[in-house]
Amino acid sequence: VASKQKTANATGLETFDSYLPAGVSVAELTSVIEQYNRDERVDGILLQLPLPAPLDGAAFVRLIAPEKDADGLHPSNQGLLLQGAPAPRPCTPLGVMALLDVAMSGIALGDGTTLTDIPKASLAGKKAIVIGRSQLVGKPVSFLLLERNATVVMAHSKSPDLPSLCRDADIVVAAVGVPNLVKAEWIKDGAIVLDVGINRLPSGKLVGDVDYESTAKKAFAITPVPGGVGPMTVAMLISNTVENCYRRNGIEIV
């Protein structure tokens, strides 16, 4: 949350924050969301999930005005994603796609090069596997890959023989939540690996879902944890908010 606020302010966005106690009532949280829905200064609303029990996060996300949804998680926006229609897309999947474009373009960011300079890669003919099928990451990233013409396998905890499914893939997206699940032997030479997982080991160290050290030697490109998909997710939150502002004001998004 701190990183989201810091990045928003650094890019010139004004932020409004409501820190609510864990025991907040349904009525109070509803009223806070409705207040931001009505506030004309606000283009992006983010409800930080998960909510403490017994509050139902999905039910509160449904209260956010879809045109102000910064996370792309409102059911209307998820439906528009399925239809391939314009709408805010979930931030982590957008971050994954942006990093994939960076890897496939071979252009390094920095020295004035920005994401808008990176061409959208053609994924026609590429095989992708997405491990994990959550609403937040796995499902939407699968649809974004499909939208770009990749052939996508959606794997999950009941998928048999994950290693051989992975070995067939040019693009591996791991969004599981199991430390170092994906091993170098599962990766085809030259594949691109996008590690969404954020797992804290008992030692306190943060690691992804992919065994980074060994896989980095085999992959064409791999995202580190921390410092890969996480910061790009924050960047996409800002991008979604700006795009919401454009849409709400009838400005064309190029």
Catalytic residues: 4, 48, 71
Least distance in angstroms from the C-beta of 2 to ligand NAP: 14
By C-alpha distance, which of 213, 165, 216 is closest to 186?
165
SS3 labels along 197-239:
CCEECCCCCEECCECHHHHHCCCCEECCCCCCHHHHHHHHHHH
By C-alpha distance, which of 46, 4, 63 is closest to 235?
4
| Region from 56-64, 117-125, 182-190, 226-234 binding ligand NAP, contact rule CB under 6 A | 226-234
Q: Which amino acid is at 6?
A: K
C-alpha 150/C-alpha 167 separation (Å) is 16
Give 1 or 253: the residue with its C-beta nearer to ligand NAP: 1
Q: Which residues, 6+ apart, have CB-to-CB distance to 199 below 8 Å?
A: 177, 178, 179, 206, 207, 208, 209
Instruction: Please select the residue that binds ligand NAP; options are 15, 134, 151, 214, rule is CB under 6 A.
Output: 134
Q: Check binding of 57 to ligand NAP (CB under 6 A).
A: no
Q: What are phi and psi of 46, to 5 degrees?
A: -120, 120
Helix (H) or strand (E) holding 155: strand 151-155
Least distance in angstroms from the C-beta of 25 to ligand NAP: 26
Q: Check binding of 230 to ligand NAP (CB under 6 A).
A: yes
| Region from 13-21, 56-64, 122-130, 150-158 binding ligand NAP, contact rule CB under 6 A | 150-158
Contact 180, 202 (CB under 8 A): no
Contact 174, 205 (CB under 8 A): no
Give 149 or 157: the residue with its C-beta nearer to ligand NAP: 157
Give 13 or 198: the residue with its C-beta nearer to ligand NAP: 198
Which residue is nearest to ligand NAP, using beta carbons? Answer: 134
Instruction: Please select the residue that binds ligand NAP; options are 70, 138, 207, 211, rule is CB under 6 A.
Output: 138
Q: Which amino acid is at 132?
A: G
| Region from 32-40, 76-84, 104-112, 152-160 binding ligand NAP, contact rule CB under 6 A | 152-160
Q: Which of residues 155-214 bind ligand NAP (CB under 6 A)?
A: 155-158, 162, 175-178, 181, 196-199
- State the residue for tokens 């009532």: 25
Q: Check binding of 141 to ligand NAP (CB under 6 A).
A: no
Least distance in angstroms from the C-beta of 67 to ligand NAP: 23
The C-alpha torsion from 122 through 127 and 131 to 136, rounded to 10°, is 30
Instruction: Please select the residue that binds ligand NAP; options are 42, 103, 136, 152, rule is CB under 6 A.
Output: 136
Instruction: Please select the residue that binds ligand NAP; options are 89, 127, 133, 148, rule is CB under 6 A.
Output: 133
Q: Which of residues 88-107 bind ligand NAP (CB under 6 A)?
A: 92
List residues binding ligand NAP (CB under 6 A): 92, 131-134, 136-138, 155-158, 162, 175-178, 181, 196-199, 229-230, 233
